[in-house]
Amino acid sequence: MSYRRILVSRWSRRDRFAIAMVALTVAFLTGSTLLVLTASAQPIGLADPLNSPGTVSGTAADETPDDELVLPIATATRADGTDVTVVGVPASAAQSWNVPPPPDDGFVRGKGGADAVRLDGEAGSVDGPVDGRDGRTLLPPEWYVTGPETVAELGTTDALVLTEDEAHAPATGVPLRSILGFFIAGQSQLLTVMGAVVSGGAVLVAVTVYSVTRMGVRDRLATIRTVRATGATPRDVLGTFALRAAVLTAVGIALGYALGVILPNAALSAAVFLGLPTALDLGVTTQALYVLAPTYIGLLLIGAAAGAVAAWSVVRDPPARLSTTTEGPRPSGLALLDWQTLVPTTATLSVFMSVLFVVSAIALTAAPVATADGSTISEPGAAHPVNSQVPAEYADALQADGIDASAEIVGFAVVDGQPFLTRGADYEAFSTVTDAELEQGRPHEAPDEAVIGASLARTLDVEVGETLLLGGSVENGVARVTIVGTYTAPGAHEDQLLLSLPAARHLAGLNTNDVNVIRTAEPLEENEAAPSVTVLDVSAPKRAVANDAVDVAVTLRNHDAAERDHTVIATFGDERTQKRVTLDGGEQRTVQLSLPSGEPGTKTLRVNEGADRPIAIVHPETPRLRGVPDEAPPGSEPLVDVRTATGEPLANTTVTVGEATVETRSDGSVRLPVGSQGTREVRVETAHGSTTETIEVTADAERALVASVTVSPASPTSLTTPMARTVVYNPWGEPLETTVRIRGPETTTEQQLNLAPGERIVLEAALTRQPPGTYDVQVDMDGSVSAETSYEVSGDERAAAALASSGYTDGGSDLGQAIEAAVGNLTLLLGALGGLAALMTVGGLSASMARAVHARRRTIGIHRAVGASPRSILGLVLRDALVIGILGTAGAFVLSLLVLQLLDALGLLTVYGIRIPTLPTPAVAIGALVIGIGLTLCSAAIAVGSLLRGPPAALLTGETRAPARGETREG
């Protein structure tokens, strides 16, 4: 058998030990690659159907390309001083882009129309009508849409360029739908960070193979001396040991590959058994092979090179100078080990600490986002927070109950290839649940303003005053926002762009008043006695007719995610009724009840032990006046109605107008002779009651329609939608035409009316839900207020208790739910990476310690021969390992910090737009130092264990194995 075959194929126990150490390192590289790739590929698979149809980019006004859809933009100012964005849409614009077509004249806007608007631009001014548009389009509803010629009149400042592009993560511009590009770009960042850190595993392979090969060289000095003396060249010897190291490394890679696949799956199986949520499905994919195959080849070459370097010392000198017995001088300050062990120990621990610092930094940075001290309210069953839709008014109800709450919309964005998170929220509410503090500028106020986290501002290199172009999140969209402030906040909250709720709704495609989640600063206290179904509103008349029915409308909401039964109980005086209803999860429904009114008087209505409501019961024949104008010209005779409380006309009834009297017709109508200027009292009195109205007779009065408005319910909560009911009546003897505008909080309804003499019409307009407070409703006709009323919105203190016990509330945060939906349990993922890194480090340290112990085996044998026990030898080795471990851990700590600083300087410590801190927390730093020393001691114990099991004579003679046939006995 040739010496080459002997040196390559004959393996000792230490060689098998080396294979195990290499396998642990390769298992870490394989397992971490599979975990990272699977975790990052999971959300990409979820988002793949939402690929963007193209990109949008900004360009100067004079640099617009001819082969793309170009939308020129002008910034103009309205008469009220508000700056607005005006965009020009060519008439030939492709409808596939979902851009609103330009009007023939004036402007189109999605926030409601107006008679006309004057816009002042840089180059000139334009007057024109404004039409409203319905439905969602690519452009924000606040923008004024017109033709390119009108934009040119105002003065074109820049332009948007729409490009058809199937690229998932464009290097320039922004995707019109960002979710897929966000995850692809984020995956690339994650792979870059982890690749830069775990590449240190190559160092451990080199250390392991070098250490074991050095031990093999010492064991085979006699064989090497013989083959050198019989003609083998130094190149032959180096090539043989390089081949030997390559074979050991190859076997270690094969075993490590198997362990790298098995161990993470075992961890996932254990997590599932323990009930930890996880969505990971580990498997070796084609993408994983593309990453692992070059890694394995590189490790194989590194192992071969380490074997050749380890054998270099036996080919430099002539064969006669190769000694098999010289052990070297006793190390200064150490009992058994060599100071040379400090270098591989420091290198190995620096790799481990780099991995530990990055993994812990990701966990701690995401902690304020992925977990929460408070609660998160989201739609039950939503697969991801961006799929959740809940009423924003829940936040108002909680705030009215003294609970800090923030209604928020989660979004994804990609700008120039950089992914980051957006969040639509009111800044003040956001700051109460995140401890954010304004660092510069001011909070955002207008829809096109934003506040950016200080960390994200550094990542994107933007400052206050700059404008960002954004694409839609999960829907196609475009928006431009101006940065008006920066803020600081704990963890990853500082790596987000805070948008206004209107802008975030547009980019997310949400309906008005809907948000993704509502976060609270403190947990909602569950109350077993609190029902999941609450009464949001009770609508009943203030007056009812005696011996008739009182109709009551009760609005219920099921705050739970599951179907619930609820019994509505109403009492009115001595009368009682109840109705049982079944509500689906999250359903809101209005239930109609009816109770007998009884005799005239005042009675109290109560529903489900709620607040008492007095209702006046009047006689059916009580008179009422309808349609009396506030003002009338002298000599006019407005037509009014006199009716009973039940709505029946009062015929042949005397009506007093000042000093005059008139009698009603058979239909209850009567013309009132108002006479000359002055105040006239109109009075109707019957045996069952009376009613009085006044008319101001003046020469300035015009014949105008008469309007009245009421809000139902009269006292809504922040979770109910009130309705404004307007009655418009023409009391004059000629037809009248006018525009009626019903103005409520954040809403205006407009309608053209043409009423014949005596005609009456009822208009109903839904008002928006509002937080607790007092609000006005006005009816404008011909530019003046014709009727007005006010109503008060109250909080619902029952909502908090109901939500706390419902399926809407989660103990974590919105992004905690997102991480769980996308990659599973974050703690499990990072824990698996940390565990693999610890195993790798033990392998590398054990190899270097084994080399050091092996070099002192004769000294250990002497100690054993003169009576030293294995325990005392172990104590000497552990004492030396403690010294080396302390120094090596300190050096590794400094080296790992320098590595992180270098990665940060290269811009590599950013994942999904979140910057990873370069300095560990005190707890992590102390833990790293303790773990580093502990791993060193553990590795030293493993390394010396094999020597202590054998007889002392074997250590003295160097006979650690039986020689192979044809091989000289060592020692």
- pLDDT score at 813: 46
Residue, of 272 and 597, whose pLDDT is higher: 597
pLDDT digits (tens, 9 = 90+) for 544-590: 999 889 999 888 888 776 788 889 999 998 899 999 999 887 788 88
Q: Which among 775, 771, 805 has a CA at the least distance from the CA of 790?
A: 775
pLDDT confidence bin for 199, thresholds 50/70/90 = low
| DSSP one-letter code for 918 | S
Q: Rounded mean pLDDT of 52-72?
A: 75
Across the chain, mean pLDDT equals: 80
Q: Is the pLDDT of residue 829 over 90?
A: no
Range from 191-195, 234-238, 829-833 carrying the lowest mean pLDDT = 829-833
199-209 burial, b at 16+ Cβ within 10 Å, e below that, comes to ebbbbbbbbbb
Residue, of 312 and 594, whose pLDDT is higher: 594
- pLDDT score at 603: 92
pLDDT digits (tens, 9 = 90+) for 68-108: 788 999 999 988 888 899 999 988 876 778 888 888 888 98
Q: Which among 774, 701, 705 has a CA at the least distance from the CA of 739?
A: 705
The C-alpha atoms of residue 851 and residue 861 are separated, in whole angstroms, by 16
- pLDDT score at 479: 93
pLDDT confidence bin for 825, thresholds 50/70/90 = very low
Residue 192 CB neighbours (<10 A): 17
% of the chain with per-residue pLDDT over 70: 77
pLDDT confidence bin for 519, thresholds 50/70/90 = confident
Q: Is the pLDDT of residue 971 over 50?
A: no
Q: Rounded mean pLDDT of 787-814?
A: 65
- pLDDT score at 923: 84
List, in sequence order, every residue forming a beta bridge with 144; answer none if it has no partner.
86
Q: Is the pLDDT of residue 970 over 60?
A: no
Whether the bond between 713 and the residue before it is cis, its omega within 30 degrees of 0, is yes
- pLDDT score at 263: 76
Q: Which among 848, 803, 821, 814 has a CA at the least distance from the CA of 944?
A: 848
The C-alpha atoms of residue 740 and residue 844 are separated, in whole angstroms, by 83
| DSSP one-letter code for 472 | B
Q: Is the pLDDT of residue 215 over 80?
A: no
pLDDT digits (tens, 9 = 90+) for 883-923: 888 998 999 899 888 888 888 888 778 887 888 888 888 88
pLDDT digits (tens, 9 = 90+) for 348-379: 788 778 877 877 776 665 544 444 456 777 77
Q: Could you give the angle at the alpha carbon of 882 between the alpha carbons of 880 and 883, nearest 5°? A: 65
- pLDDT score at 628: 92
pLDDT digits (tens, 9 = 90+) for 913-960: 888 888 888 888 898 899 889 888 887 887 777 666 666 666 666 544
Q: Is the pLDDT of residue 772 over 70?
A: yes
Per DSSP, the residues of 857-879 read: HHHHHHHHHTT--HHHHHHHHHH
pLDDT digits (tens, 9 = 90+) for 682-718: 999 998 889 999 999 999 888 889 999 999 887 787 7
Q: Which among 374, 259, 233 has a CA at the least distance from the CA of 800?
A: 374
If 0-12 CB within 10 Å is exposed, 13-18 middle and 19+ buried, where does residue 738 land? Answer: buried
The C-alpha atoms of residue 793 and residue 275 are separated, in whole angstroms, by 44
| Pair 248, 313: CB distance under 8 Å | no
| Pair 819, 40: CB distance under 8 Å | no
Q: Could you give the angle at the alpha carbon of 855 between the alpha carbons of 213 and 19, nearest 5°? A: 30
Q: Rounded mean pLDDT of 483-498?
A: 91
- pLDDT score at 320: 62
- pLDDT score at 112: 62
Containing H/E element for 604? strand 601-607
Amino acid identity at 423: R
| Pair 515, 698: CB distance under 8 Å | no
- pLDDT score at 817: 45
Residue, of 351 and 971, whose pLDDT is higher: 351
pLDDT digits (tens, 9 = 90+) for 390-433: 878 778 878 877 788 899 998 989 998 889 999 999 999 999 98
pTM for the structure as a whole: 0.69
443: its two tokens:
């909070």
Q: Rounded mean pLDDT of 657-661?
A: 91
- pLDDT score at 823: 43
Q: What are phi and psi of 717, to 5 degrees?
A: -100, 175
Q: Rounded mean pLDDT of 616-627?
A: 91
Range from 58-62, 97-101, 175-179, 818-822 carrying the lowest mean pLDDT = 818-822
SS3 117: strand
If 0-12 CB within 10 Å is exposed, 13-18 middle and 19+ buried, where does residue 77 land? Answer: middle
Q: Rounded mean pLDDT of 184-191?
A: 77
Which strand ranges, in their side-by-side order, compose the sheet holding 588-596? Answer: 533-539, 549-558, 588-596
The C-alpha atoms of residue 644 and residue 618 are separated, in whole angstroms, by 10
Q: Rounded mean pLDDT of 511-515?
A: 82
Q: Which among 502, 411, 460 has a CA at the least distance from the CA of 182?
A: 411
| Pair 554, 588: CB distance under 8 Å | no
Q: Rounded mean pLDDT of 26-34?
A: 77
pLDDT confidence bin for 6, thresholds 50/70/90 = low
- pLDDT score at 777: 93
- pLDDT score at 369: 46
- pLDDT score at 824: 45
